[in-house]
């Protein structure tokens, strides 16, 4: 019998509902992004995000069911992102999911947001284990070893800024508008790697550090300004991006080698980064690594990935009861 997961994601500034069949087939997804609103403030304002989630939640639910031509009776279980994320935003999704689970007497499946990003890859092609997941987003930079479904072994991560965070700060310094990451990526493509920036934390560990690189960009921009020199935004963006992508790919390829793993999945908002996608594609082809990167629409926050992750959690018997609470931070497990 087919399993249909209705998934809800509201951890940051996207209200999203999706129906996923058997963990891999997207029946329908609705994503309502608040990005244009938050752009006015140069970043996500948590209270505004919460307000917009509650305004839209039932409309997004309805639209998703209508698009799927399904009713709640067709749904096997309800999956929801319980964390990590903005607590006020998460709460709307969690309360909505609990209410639906209660009214329709359906199993409630709690999903970790990062598990969702990783399982977005299962919507592209069936994930093969063991694998290494490179998780790169505004809040995460991690290498995770998975020997099977829902077995997450953390092998390295950022010691300071997440990669997306570093992108956003660099965007501010060189005067690129919100959302900074994608816009810096776009600029980088128009420039050349001319600035002498350090390769961050180039050691034998699987950890990352981006604060030094970030400071180097800030200092460089500041010094040039003092000297009355115009910085070349495109070239600076390109130089920055090259260092970031170099170290991410270098440590990822080494992790694959060390753990003797032939499967790599990339997850999180920064997996939309064009240079990262290109470089990993080339390197993995060379090393005969089975690489999966989600389509751009599954890289940013969406409920489809929660539905995919929710399916495997459901199959493994993971359940929450009506006391389920949102968590701002929580370890992937």
Which chain residues interact with another protein by CB under 8 A? 40-41, 45, 47-48, 50-51, 54-55, 57-59, 61-62, 72, 88, 91-92, 94-96, 98-100, 102-104, 322-326
Angle at which helix 180-188 crosses helix 163-173, to 10 degrees, equals: 70
285: tokens are 């082809």
CB of 155 to another protein, least distance (A): 33
Q: Which is nearer to another protein, 6 or 134 (CB)?
A: 6
Cα dihedral across residues 161, 162, 166, 169: positive or negative: negative
Cα gap 140→313, rounded to integer Å:
22
- For residue 317, the tally of other CB atoms under 10 A from its CB is 8
18 vs 149, beta carbon nearer another protein: 18
Enter the DSSP assignment of 9. E
Cβ closest to another protein, residue 16 vs residue 239: 16
Minimum CB separation of residue 242 from another protein in Å reads 35
* Cβ proximity to another protein, 97 vs 265, nearer residue: 97
Radius of gyration of the chain (CA): 20
Q: Between 54 and 283, whose beta carbon lies closer to another protein?
A: 54
* CB of 101 vs another protein, minimal distance in Å: 9
Distance in Å from the first CA to the final CA of the chain: 28
Alpha-carbon distance of 35 to 42, in angstroms, equals 10
* Beta carbon of residue 189, minimum distance to another protein (angstroms, whole number): 32
Give the residue with the Cβ less far from another protein, 162 or 326.
Answer: 326
Cβ atoms 178, 194 nearer than 8 A: no
Neighbour order of strands in the sheet with 77-83: 25-33, 14-21, 4-9, 77-83, 108-112
């Amino acid at each position: 019998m087919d399993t249909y997961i209705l998934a809800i994601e509201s951890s940051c500034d996207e209200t999203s509902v999706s129906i996923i069949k058997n963990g891999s087939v997207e029946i329908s997804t609705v994503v309502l992004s608040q990005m244009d609103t938050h752009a006015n403030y140069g970043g996500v304002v948590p209270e505004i995000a919460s307000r917009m989630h509650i305004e839209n939640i039932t409309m997004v639910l309805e639209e998703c069911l209508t698009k799927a031509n399904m009713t709640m009776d067709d749904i096997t279980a309800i999956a929801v992102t319980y964390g990590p994320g903005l607590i006020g935003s998460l709460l709307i999704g969690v309360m909505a999911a609990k209410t639906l689970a209660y009214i329709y007497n359906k199993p409630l499946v709690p999903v970790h947001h990062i598990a969702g990003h990783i399982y977005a890859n299962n919507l592209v092609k069936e994930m093969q284990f063991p694998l290494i997941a490179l998780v790169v987003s505004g809040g995460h930079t991690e290498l995770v070893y998975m020997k099977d479904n829902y077995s997450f072994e953390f092998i390295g991560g950022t010691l300071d800024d997440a990669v997306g965070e570093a992108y956003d700060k660099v965007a501010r310094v060189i005067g690129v508008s919100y959302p900074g990451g994608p816009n810096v990526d776009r600029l980088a493509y128009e420039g050349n790697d001319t600035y002498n920036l350090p390769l961050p934390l180039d050691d034998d560990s699987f950890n990352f550090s981006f604060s030094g690189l970030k400071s180097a960009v800030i200092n460089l921009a500041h010094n040039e300004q003092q000297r009355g020199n115009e910085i070349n935004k495109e070239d600076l963006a390109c130089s920055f991006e090259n260092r970031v992508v170099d170290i991410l790919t270098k440590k990822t390829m080494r992790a694959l080698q060390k753990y003797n793993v032939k499967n790599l999945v990339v997850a999180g908002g920064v997996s939309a980064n064009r240079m990262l996608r290109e470089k990993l594609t080339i390197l993995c082809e060379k090393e005969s690594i089975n690489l999966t990167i989600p389509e751009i629409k599954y890289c940013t926050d969406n409920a489809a990935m929660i539905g995919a992750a929710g399916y495997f959690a459901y199959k493994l018997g993971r359940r929450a009861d009506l006391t389920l609470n949102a968590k701002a931070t929580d370890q992937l497990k």
